[in-house]
Structure 1
Amino acid sequence: MESWTGRLTDSPVVETETIGNAFCDGQILFGKLRPYLAKVWVSDRPGAYVGDFVLLDPDAGFDAHFLGYVMRTPEFIRRVSAESYGSKMPRAEWDQLRYLEVPAPPLDEQRRIADYLDHETAEIDALVDEMKLVLTLLAERTRSDVDSKFATCFEHATIAGLRNQLMEVDERAGDRARADDLLSVSIHRGVTRWVDETDDLPRAEDLSRYKTVRAGDLVLNRMRAFQGAIGVSKWDGIASPDYAVLRPGSGLDPLYAVRLIKSTRFLQEISKNLRGIGSDDSGVVRTPRVSVRDLIRIPVRLPSLVEQKEIVSELDEMETFNLERQRDAQRAIDLAMERRAALISAAVTGQIDVTEKRTPVAEELESTLAEA
């Protein structure tokens, strides 16, 4: 079930031995776990559900579709969230929902409002879906741009390529370790400082075995290497003993090395060299890791240092362009969802007359986006 839209996701049907709870056409399912997600669906068929939902059966004075729109307004969700309990995984129960007041215009008016919103939100949702497709295509284009730059690296490749230019460094911090110097590495953000991410820093006495990192070193999360968890450190610092610290030689640009290792072809080669229990797509006991010895022996052919820097510069420009387009698309999505929510709130509370002829909101959105 999607947040805010009232639509079911296109998830594949999964067989389960769990006994579900039955629902009928015209009933409403409200996601009570993390109610701020606004997962509300008006059923258009009989079926069964499994999970944390409140099942509502509107009485004769309410149109189910109208009530579904009311329950997806930011105002209603804020009130439900205020009544929910639990900090990490808040939930709302029927005992809290039953006392919340909702608009209750005459039934015929409810149906007119619901019909109007069905039409308007369908057009807005179509626009949002187009923008989401743009985001997907831009992400694929970015990946294609990167991969094309490294295609020749795997032609006439030898194991000497990286082996001669990347050296694993295993210097322990000892009593010099400071929590403020702790570094982390993730798939999407590369190397970051813990102090910039959280106030929950480890105690200094826990860090003596951590590895020393110099600015310019590559830091590799061996458990997530097959997903591209590597980056260049901008700082001197310390990293987890389970990470690998790699120092590039004079013939290898560190930014180029990271981009090469994160390329699709190289990640595929890493996956072939995973060691440990399980596989790259398993969720059992222990996530498989790659050894540095195996990683630096993956055959590649490195261009000259000048060419490496040129490739990094070209990719930076390409990614900057694609990122700007992605931000534009995301801003369009955010604006459309804001307008969608405002329209629903105004309609269900009687602030607009849905019988009046007006420019469709989707058209207004397209004009606004075109001007922007």
Structure 2
Amino acid sequence: MITDLKPYPAMKDSGVPWLGEVPAHWDIERLKSLMSNIIQQTARRKDTDLYIALEHVESWTGRIQSAEPDVSFDSQVKRFQSGDVLFGKLRPYLAKVARPAGNGVCVGEFFVLRPQDSKATAAYMEQLLRAKPVIDAVNSSTFGAKMPRADWYSLGGMPVTLPPLPEQAAIVRFLDYMDRRIRRYIRAKQTLIKLLEEQKQAIIHRAVTRGLDADVRLKPSGVEWLGEVPAHWEVKRLKVMAQIRYGLGQPPRESETGLPLIRATNVDHGRILEKNLVRVDPEDVPSTRNAFLSEGEIVVVRSGAYTADSAIIPREYAGAVAGYDMVVTPRKARPEFIALALLCTYVRDDQLIIASMRSAQPHLNAEELGVALVMVPPEVEQVRIVDYLTSATRELDAAAETAHREISLLREYRTRLIADVVTGKLDVREVAARLPDEDDEPESLEDDDALIDAEDATSADLDAVSEEAEA
């Protein structure tokens, strides 16, 4: 199908450097001549209203995760209608662009955009506004170093492509069709990753709770729910073996050439993810906060969807900056062993996640983390266990990493395809006309992206929160 796509037969200069050439029969219009910025504020939400905050919108796809039905807010929100396009103006590089299927209210960090007349459809404008060239252009015009925002003057004045209405429909039909297929491929890869992770966790759990000797003698742990432990092991609280500190409450000024800022969205079951990694100016990091990370320290997520997830800092991220989360510095145990233990079910699920569920928003503080019980063998055995697990899980890690790379390539392909189609680099009219009719699939967020950048979306609200208040 993709091989059937060809360039348009006749092109013209758009007059816009970042757009380049566009099909000769397309128009170039200012966004504000096609869409109105609707500002209808309210402090009330109807029972039937959707509620959408930035964290409910998946980056680059626009799929919406519903908020809790009893959600409340203490400031005014904006009303939107079914079919309006919501454009996230806080950190626009996150590409939080969505078109809700119902009426509702949204946080003020969205522009609510509504087509003015019949020249442009909301469905086409949603695809256009989420295209990477458009997002990049908007991002280049933001204001605010720490919390960059788009303004309507710049966004509304931006020139955009406007194909004829039948062509807009063809573009939307083609991109929706391709998106459904890409999502299916991604879900298949994610299923494989889950199976590999489950197999890996079973191997780790056995080693860090029983050791490597299948005939080891056991003793009661002294903790009813913990059961038995190897007779020569101890059960200790984490704070006895490690120091725990908080990262930064307020993100430093961003800088493309700065240091990596390790946030919740970069922590994934023991790995530090480079995807969506933000770099910050080290000169803007408070010297009193001890925010710079060392190799072997462990970042533990303290709030939100990723609460209690953790990852050890590898050598390549030594010197990075700790974001909002907690940092564990092992002193009386091997860092690698503690990192493995923190990911085990008996620590993460049975202690940390349970402790974090004291309110609607999961949250973990240093005291709750510090009192977590950990089964600890002698140090020489810790080293053997770590070495064994490094070898035993290597092939599983490699297979999972391959699947992650394939997912990343699929997403990059989707992003590039949207950009090429809505900017007129590929002609989809004939292909779209031959596509079969398909029912829409349920809005199911991809696991890897479901809450991606949730910390980004809410970080403005965290600036005023001190760790003392959170504790």
TM category (shorter chain) comes to: 0.5 to 0.7
Other-structure match for 1:264: 345
1:84 aligns with 2:139: no
Residue number in structure 1 paired with 2:71: 15
CA distance in 1, matches of 2:161, 2:431: 23
Task: For residues 127-176 of structure 1, give each alpha carbon's deviation from its aligned partner in whole angstroms, at most 9, with x where no partner exists.
Answer: 22333343344333322221123444694245762379x9x799xxxxxx
2:428 paired residue number: 354
Is the alpha carbon distance of 1:76 and 1:145 closer, same or farther for their aligned partners in structure 2, counting shifts above 3 Å? same
SS of the residue corresponding to residue 111 of structure 2 reads strand
Contact persistence 1:223–1:289 (CA under 8 A): no
Q: What letter matches 2:402 in structure 1? A: D
- Note if contact 1:232-1:254 (Cα within 8 Å) is conserved in structure 2: no
Q: Is the 8 A contact 1:2 1:39 kept in 2?
A: yes
> Partner amino acid for 1:324?
A
| Contact 1:32–1:52 (CA under 8 A) maintained in structure 2 | yes
Q: d(CA) in 2 for partners of 1:233 and 1:41?
A: 36
Q: Is the 8 A contact 1:232 1:255 kept in 2?
A: no
Question: SS where residue 156 of structure 1 aligns?
Answer: strand
Task: Give the superposition deviation at 1:11.
Answer: 4.5
1:129–1:88 distance in 2 versus 1, CA, 3 Å? farther
**How far apart, CA to CA, are the structure 2 residues paired with 1:107 and 1:326?**
43
Q: Deviations over 1:28-80 (max 9, x none)?
A: 10001110001111232222212410011113200111111111111000100
Deviation at 1:260, TM superposition (A): 4.8
Paired letter, 2:345: T
Q: State whether structure 2 residue 109 is matched by structure 1 residue 46.
A: no
**How do residues 177-188 of structure 1 correspond to structure 2 at under 5 angstroms?**
188=270
Please tell me whether Structure 1 or Structure 2 has the larger radius of gyration of its CA atoms: 1
Match of 2:367 in 1: 288
Instruction: Return the structure number with greater helix share.
Output: 1
Match in the other structure for 1:181: none
2-side partners of 1:284 and 1:305: how far apart? 35
Could you tell me which of 144, 168, 186 is aligned with 1:110?
Answer: 168
- 2:403 corresponding residue in structure 1: 329
Change (3 A) 1:157 1:262: farther
Partners of 1:137 and 1:348 lie apart in 2 by 37
Question: For residues 95-244 of structure 1, what are the structure 2 equivalents within 5 Å?
Answer: 95-152=153-210, 155-157=218-220, 161-162=233-234, 188=270, 227=308
Asked if residue 30 in structure 1 is aligned to residue 87 in structure 2, the reply is: yes
- Indicate the SS of the match to 2:98: strand
Opposite residue 366 of structure 2, the aligned amino acid is T
Q: Aligned in 2, Cα 1:99/1:147: closer, same or farther, shift over 3 Å?
A: same
Per-residue deviation at 1:113?
1.0
Is 1:62 paired with 2:143? no
- Distance in structure 2 (CA, Å) of the matches to 1:74 and 1:321: 35
Q: Determine the C-alpha separation between the residues in 2 that align with 1:303 and 1:346.
A: 59
Match of 2:393 among 297, 316, 319: 319
Return closer, same or farther for 1:268/1:113 CA change in 2, 3 Å cut-off. closer
Normalising by structure 1, what TM-score?
A: 0.65
Question: C-alpha displacement at 1:352, in angstroms?
Answer: 2.0
Q: Which amino acid aligns with 1:6?
A: G
Deviation at residue 339 of structure 1 after TM alignment:
1.1
CA distance in 2, matches of 1:5, 1:230: 27
Look up the SS of the partner of 2:150 in the other structure: coil
Maintained 8 Å contact 1:61/1:107: yes
Q: 1:4 to 1:246 in 2, by over 3 A?
A: closer
Residues 1:258 and 1:162: Cα distance change in structure 2 (over 3 Å): farther
**In 2 relative to 1, CA 88–139 (structure 1 residues): closer, same or farther, beyond 3 Å?**
farther
Choose between structure 1 and 2: higher strand proportion: 2
Between 333-342 and 14-23, the greater mean CA deviation after superposition: 14-23
Measured at CA, do residues 304 and 120 of structure 1 come closer, stay the same or move farther in structure 2, by a change above 3 Å? closer
- The answer as to whether partners of 1:222 and 1:244 remain within 8 angstroms in 2 is no
CA–CA separation in structure 1 for the residues paired with 2:133 and 2:340: 45
1:343 aligns with 2:420: no
Shift of 1:203: 7.0
Deviation of residue 107 (structure 1)? Answer: 1.0
**One-letter code aligned to 1:146:** I
Instruction: Sort the Cα spacing of 1:38 and 1:243 in 2 relative to 1 into closer, same or farther, 3 A.
Output: closer
Name which of structure 1's ranges 259-268 and 58-67 shifts more when overlaid on structure 2.
259-268
Work out the CA distance in 2 between the residues paired with 1:244 and 1:6: 39
* Structure 2 residues not aligned, in runs of 5+: 1-56, 212-216, 223-231, 243-266, 273-279, 316-326, 436-471
Cα deviation, 1:3-32, whole Å, max 9, x if unaligned, reads 011211254434215453221122110001
